[in-house]
Amino acid sequence: MTFNITKVREDFPILKREVNGKPLVYLDNGASAQKPQVVIDAITQAYSSEYANVHRGLHYLSNLATDKYESVRSKVAKFLNSSVEDSIVFNSGTTEGINLIAYAWAMPRLQAGDEIVLSIMEHHANIIPWHFLRERMGIKLIWVDVDANGNLDPERMIAAMTERTKLVAITHLSNVLGTVVDVKTITKAAHDLGAVVLVDGSQAAVHMPIDVEDIDCDFYSITGHKLYGPSGSGAIYIKPERMAEMRPFMGGGDMIRDVGREVITYNDAPMKFEAGTPAIVQQIGLGVALDYMMDIGMENIASHEKVLRDYARERLDGLNWLNIQGKSLSKAAIFSFTLNGPAHAHDISTVLDKKGIAVRAGHHCAQPLMEHLGVSSTCRASFAMYNTKGEVDKLVDGLEFCQELFG
C-alpha cells in the first residue's frame, strides 16, 4: 500500500479544527496521538449498540462484546509478531504493564542485593516500580548513561551487567531524545548472564515495526493512546516461560476459577493477570487502531516519519540559538529543545500555542535524564504519521518568533 499523507490526514477529524484562530499543528504525539475516524466510530458503535459486560454472559450482547474484545488479543499478537496469542495480557497501558511485572514476576523472585539495570533515559513508569523494590526489598538499581549525542551504546549496558543482575529494564525509544535502542543486542547479553529483559515499547511501537520474537525479550509493553487508540487501553507481551513464573498481582473478576472459604483456584493465563471488569470498549478501539496502522503498513509509516525527521533536523539545525537535546543519527522524529536566553519551556509552549502549534513542555516524566542533561525542562515536538513538512515549517516560524520575543 502506498502511503498517502492527504488520505491519512483526512482520516483524523481533529486535524480540521483551529486553535486560537490558527489551523491546528499537533506536535504532541509523544504524549498522546490523535484518533482516526474509524476508532471514534468503533467506540461509538460499541457503546450505542453493542455494549455489555464480557465473559460468562449467556445473552447475545455479552457474547458479541466478548467476541469483539477477545479478538483484539490476536491483533496485538500480530502487531508485535508474537506467535502465541495467550502471551498478550491486556491492561490500561505501559504503566500498569510494568507494575504487573514488578509485582507478579520480580517481587517473588528477587532478593536483597540483586540488581536491576536501567538506562538514564527511562520514563518514570519504568523507574518508579523498581524503586518500590529498592525501598521494600533492598534491590540495587544500576544506571547507564547516554553519550553526548544521546546514543546508548549497547556495550555500556552490557558492561553494567553482573552475576547479580536479574533484570534489565530498557526503553526501546526515548520519549525525550528520540534515541532508538538496540534492545536485541542488550537482550542477548542479558540472557547469556541469566537475566531477563523488559522493554518499554510505549514510544517505539507507534514509529516502527516491532518483532518481539526477533528481539527475544521477556516482556514488551505498549500503550493504546499513543497508538492512535483510546486512553485506558494497552497490553504487554509476556514470554510464556516468564508468564509461568508469575503470581497474580491483582485479585477479582475473571482472574479466578473458583473461590472458597479456605482456598482459591486461579484462572489460566493470560486471564490470571487480568483482574476486574476490563476496559472493554477501549480495548476494542485499540484493536481497530492497530488494524488501521497495519493496513497502512508500519514500514510505510516509518519511512514517512524518517523523511519528516530528516527535514525537521535540517530546519532546526539551522537555528543557532536553539539547543537540541538528543542528536542520534538514527533517532525517531522527536525533538526536545531549549532556547538560548531567559525563555522557559513553558513560555515557548504558550507562545507556540497562540499560533496553533501544540508541543509538550516540562520534564516529560524523565527527571533523571533531565538532571543528566543539566536542564530542568524542555519543549518537545514529537511527530506522527499525519504530520507534514509544512508543519515543520510552521514550527520553525513559531520558534523564530519566540526568539525575537525572548532572545
Catalytic residues: 365
Q: Are 388 and 307 in contact (CB under 8 A)?
A: no
- The number of CA neighbours under 13 Å toward the Cβ of 192 is 10
Are the C-beta atoms of residues 167 and 195 closer than 8 Å to each other? yes
For the record, the C-alpha cell of 188 comes out as 542477548
Cell 467476541 -> residue: 67
DSSP 399: H
Q: Is 225 helix (H, G, I), strand (E, B) or coil?
A: helix
Q: How many CB atoms lie within 10 A of CB 313?
A: 18
Rounded distance between C-alpha atoms, residue 315 and residue 325, angstroms? 15
CB 114 within 8 A of CB 139: yes
Q: Identify the burial level of 212 via C-beta atoms within 10 angstroms of its C-beta, where 0-12 means exposed, 13-18 middle and 19 or more buried.
A: buried
Evaluate whether 273 touches 104 at the Cβ level (below 8 Å).
yes
Burial state string for 347-383 with b = 16 or more CB within 10 A and e = fewer than 16: bbbebbbebbbbbbbbbbbbebbbeebeeebbbbbbb
CA–CA gap between residue 162 and residue 117 (Å, rounded): 10
* The C-alpha cell that represents 12 in the structure block: 483524523
Q: Give the strands of the sheet with 196-200, arranged side by side.
A: 88-91, 234-238, 219-223, 196-200, 165-171, 115-119, 140-144
- Contact by Cβ (8 Å): 120, 368: yes
For residues 391 and 407, what is the distance between their CA atoms, to the nearest angstrom?
23
Distances (CA, A) of 215 to 59, 98, 172, 294: 42, 18, 11, 20
